[in-house]
Amino acid sequence: MKKQFIAGNWKMNLTMGEARSLAEKLCDESDNSDAVVDIGVFPAFVFLRDVCEILRGSKVYVGAQNMYLEKSGAFTGEVSGAMLRDVGCTHVIIGHSERRTIFRETNSMINSKLKAALSCGLKPIFCVGEKQEERDAERTNEVVGNQLSEGLAGLTSEQANELTIAYEPVWAIGTGKTATPEQANEVHSFIRNTIKSKYENDTAQCIRIQYGGSVNAENADNLLGQPEIDGALVGGASLEPGSFLDIVSAAVRLS
C-alpha cells in the first residue's frame, strides 16, 4: 500500500520568524506519523535554507514552489533546480494552477520544468486541474488529459515513477469551495487510467495522486478516504501547525 503524501504549500505567506516557528513545530510533532504518511512543506524561496536546516534529520521533506527550466544563465529573478538541491530541497511543485493562470505557464513550459527537475534529482509534484467554466462545459477530462499528455511528453516510465501528481481544480484553489469526495475520486481515477494508457499498470499504481483545493481538517477524512486519493496538497490550512497536523492525522487513521 502506498504511503499517503501530505504536502503544505505555504505560497507567498509568513515572515522569516513565522516560517522558522512553523518548521520547528512540525519538526517536533511530526515524527510519529512518518511510518505510514509522508509529509512535506513548500516555503517561499527566501525561507528555504532556514527551513531545510531546521528540518534536516527530521521526517519532513522540504521543497520549493517553483523553479526555472534552465540550469543557469541570465534569467534575472529565477531559481534553478541545482540551487534548490544545494540548499537541501528534495521536492518541487511544478505547474501549480496559480503558475498556469497568473503567470501563463504553458503545458510545454511545465514539461520542460519537469525534465529539468528530474535531471537534477528533485522529485516534482506535477499539478493539473480545470477551471470552473471548463467543468461547467463538461471538459474536465479533456483539459486534464491534455495537461497530462503534454506535461509528460518525453518522460520515461522510470522518470514518471518519481512524480507525484496533484489534481487541483482551479475553481477550488483558495476559494473555500471543494470538490465532493466523489468528484475528486472520479478525476483521480481518470488520471490513473490516463497514466496506465501512456505507460503501464505498475507506473499507474506507483504514482501518488494528491487532491488539492481548500483541503482542511474538517473535510480531510472524507477526501483522503477515497480509494484513488493518495494524499493532499494543502494551501491555507498548512500555515497553522495544528490544522496541518490534523490533516496528517486523518491520513494516518486511514492508512
Domains in the chain, start-ordered, CATH in brackets?
4-254 (3.20.20.70)
Residue-averaged pLDDT of the chain: 95
- Does the active-site annotation cover 168? yes
pLDDT digits (tens, 9 = 90+) for 17-34: 999 999 999 998 887 666
Predicted local distance difference test score (pLDDT) of residue 33:
63
Residue 171 pLDDT class (50, 70, 90 cuts): confident
The H-assigned helical ranges of the chain are: 16-29, 48-55, 81-87, 97-101, 107-119, 132-136, 140-151, 157-160, 181-198, 201-206, 220-224, 241-254
The cell numbers describing 46, all together, are: 527566501
Per residue in 89-115, pLDDT (tens digit) is: 999 999 999 999 999 999 999 999 999
For residues 194-206, one letter each, b for 16 or more C-beta atoms within 10 angstroms of the residue's C-beta and e for the rest, the string is: bbeebbeeebbeb
Q: How far apart are CA 78 and CA 21, in angstroms?
A: 27
- Whole-angstrom distance, CA of residue 107 vs CA of residue 13: 26
Average pLDDT over residues 224-240: 97
Q: What's the burial of 1, exposed, middle or buried (CB within 10 Å: 0-12/13-18/19+)?
A: exposed
Nearest-angstrom CA–CA distance, 152 and 113? 11
> What's residue 172's pLDDT?
82
- Residue 172 vs residues 28, 118, 179: alpha-carbon distances, Å: 31, 28, 7
- Among 91, 96, 98, 105, the active-site one is 96
- CA dist 171 and 193 (Å) reads 23
**pLDDT on residue 34:** 63
Task: Give me the catalytic one of 98, 105, 130, 168.
Answer: 168
Is 142 an annotated catalytic residue?
no
Rounded to an integer, what distance in angstroms lies between the CA atom of residue 26 and that of residue 230?
21
Query: How many H-runs (helices) and E-runs (strands) does the chain carry?
Result: 12, 8
Q: What is the pLDDT of residues 38-60, one digit of tens each?
A: 999 999 999 999 999 999 999 99
- Beta strands 164-167 and 231-234 are unpaired
